[in-house]
Amino acid sequence: TPASTPTSAPSSTRTPTPSPTPPPALIPGGRVLQGGLHSVGKVDPRAGDLNPAEQQVADLLFESLLVPSPLDGRPDPALAEGWAFSPDGLEVTFHLREGVRWHDGTLLTAGDVVHALEEARDATGGGILWPLLRPVLSVEAVGTQEVRVTFREPDCWAFWAVGQVPLVRQDAEGRPVGTGPFRWAGQEADGRVALEAFRAYWGLATYVDGWTYQPFPDAGSLEQALGAGAVDVALWPEEGAPAAWNPATGYALLPLPGETYFVLVFNARRAPLRDAAGRRALAALVDRAALLQGMGGQGLVLNAPLPSGHWALLAGVAPWAEVALSSEGAQEAVAAAGWSDADGDGWLDFRGQPWVLAVEANAENPRRVRVAQQVAAQLRAAGIPAELRAVEWGVFLSDLASHTFDLAVLDLPFHAEPAACTLWREDTGRKGEPFNWPGLGDEDLDLLRALLEAARAVPGCQPEDRASRYASLWAWLDQERPFHVLFSPARWLVADPALKGLVASPFRPWYWNLNRWYWTAEPGP
């Protein structure tokens, strides 16, 4: 950890740029000390269920064949330097990088990759990817540097899942062994985890000597450590940005792209929400910018459940057209959908009958509750009776599954692969039923399934070809409006201003290029 010096803050941009060429002020070496609120108990990513700290350690240690591009989320080379599909899309051959070494010094081979893929396909092994790998018919090594994967049918989600399988080993002492830019150095009794730079790494050189993670028992103690300069970097431990951040250290508070988005789900089996025109009219009454402001004001209003700039949104057409109308236009749309003040009490009735719309969220999630409360208030301001309904998690899930809600607010994680979007993903991994929280009828559900399959089953999986297919999905969702994507709130990072090289991306974890971070002040002991 270097001594703090009053230099400019680390760069953080929504759209990443290549890691900068280090200026002459770069001081090689030093360590990065990161604070957080989670303890590290396991780091093997194959079984899933890792907390954020464990996932970060795993991401720094282990790699896969493909990664999402930090620019637009499309598949980028990682341990595979390239790949080639057969014309029918049923086979893909991955070309491995030459000279990739495991942390124990041995060379990565095609046999290692085949072993990892076969292990991931084993439904009895406890891995999380096997349902997505069901379309894989076979995996074989072609020499030492190529791996051929054969699919039952063209399936771009399965291709992406193959590319995401982590390559994991353990040494004789049970320590994790990967191929990433950092290798395991140990864990202290107080929970500290230390990684050291892997100097035989195949990729760009790592500037710092190592990285240490220090868990803290609560948000207050982490904030105190940040204020005292006792750690170099940490995600802000509370929701939103602090009203004032002026520590003696001069640390910078930086917004990061959000990892989640908020969405308003309409129950199409409720009378006022049965028609697409009615759903669109209510969506037009929701001021998403005001909702975002109510969550701290930092983030992005979105028109799709994907980060802005995603490859699936680049088909040359405006995806998911904006539904916001003028005040007069919105009221006209609401009236056309059947809402009017039939009894003269100042509140709109639905087709002559009183109706109170419940905006539901699970009470254990204060962010969802806050957004649901704001949505209900905005509907009331337009004359539509609406109220917050905060229920426990089990009731919330039951209401979604049984379609016994009116409107529901969720915040969901982004996925680089659009087919994996929680709003419609097929639970079995291939040709199963999409999630149907909106309660779509059979005809609409069949059409949704066909649109998803068309974008998923593109031979060769070229993003440009798939984006043109997704354009049809966006147009259908825009017209039918089974749910209304709201916004993605920003996260906040606190960092020593002498720490440079941080480049944020909405498609990768905030620490994705940690091996290119560097100090511009003399490292301390």
Domains and CATH numbers, the chain: 31-62+180-255+491-519 (3.40.190.10), 66-167 (3.90.76.10), 260-489 (3.10.105.10)
Q: Token match 């999905």: residue?
A: 473
**pLDDT value, residue 252:** 80
| 402, containing H or E segment | helix 393-402
Q: Token match 């993003």: residue?
A: 463
Percent of the chain with pLDDT over 70: 88
Is residue 240 very low, low, confident or very high in pLDDT (cuts 50, 70, 90)? low
Percent of the chain with pLDDT over 90: 75
Q: Which of 413, 428, 42, 43 is nearest to 261 (CA)?
A: 413
State the average pLDDT over residues 500-505.
92
**pLDDT value, residue 124:** 78
User: What is the distance between the alpha carbons of residues 172 and 123, in angstroms, rounded to a whole number?
Assistant: 26
* pLDDT surpassing 60 at residue 401: yes
For residues 40 and 31, is the Cβ–Cβ distance under 8 A? no
State the average pLDDT over residues 111-128.
89
Is residue 428 very low, low, confident or very high in pLDDT (cuts 50, 70, 90)? very low
For residues 501 and 61, is the Cβ–Cβ distance under 8 A? no
Query: What is the tens place of the pLDDT at every residue in 298-356?
Result: 899 998 999 989 999 986 555 555 555 566 777 888 999 999 999 999 999 999 999 99
**pLDDT value, residue 14:** 39
State the average pLDDT over residues 105-131.
90
State the average pLDDT over residues 203-221.
95
User: What is the distance between the alpha carbons of residues 348 and 334, in angstroms, rounded to a whole number?
Assistant: 9
* pLDDT surpassing 70 at residue 468: yes
DSSP symbol at 389: E
**pLDDT value, residue 116:** 95
Q: Tell me which of 35-39, 45-49, 453-457 is least confident.
A: 45-49
Alpha helices in 94-210 (DSSP H): 110-121, 156-164
Q: Tell me which of 192-206, 422-436, 450-464 is least confident.
A: 422-436
Alpha helices in 203-358 (DSSP H): 219-228, 276-285, 288-294, 327-336
* pLDDT surpassing 70 at residue 244: no
* pLDDT surpassing 80 at residue 482: yes
**pLDDT value, residue 509:** 96
For residues 257 and 307, is the Cβ–Cβ distance under 8 A? yes
| 373, containing H or E segment | helix 366-381
Is residue 49 very low, low, confident or very high in pLDDT (cuts 50, 70, 90)? confident
Angle between the 276-285 and 327-336 helix axes, to the nearest 10 degrees? 150
**pLDDT value, residue 151:** 98
**pLDDT value, residue 23:** 57
**pLDDT value, residue 432:** 45
User: What is the distance between the alpha carbons of residues 135 and 157, in angstroms, rounded to a whole number?
Assistant: 9
Query: What is the tens place of the pLDDT at every residue in 252-310?
Result: 888 899 999 999 999 999 999 999 999 999 999 999 999 999 988 889 999 899 998 99
Residue 128 token pair: 């999380």
Is residue 9 very low, low, confident or very high in pLDDT (cuts 50, 70, 90)? very low
User: What is the distance between the alpha carbons of residues 323 and 265, in angstroms, rounded to a whole number?
Assistant: 15
Query: 254: which strand partners?
Result: 493
Question: If you compute the radius of gyration of the chain from its CA atoms, what whole number of angstroms results?
Answer: 25
State the average pLDDT over residues 461-485.
93
User: What is the distance between the alpha carbons of residues 75 and 73, in angstroms, rounded to a whole number?
Assistant: 7
| 66, containing H or E segment | strand 66-68
Mean pLDDT computed over every residue of the chain: 89
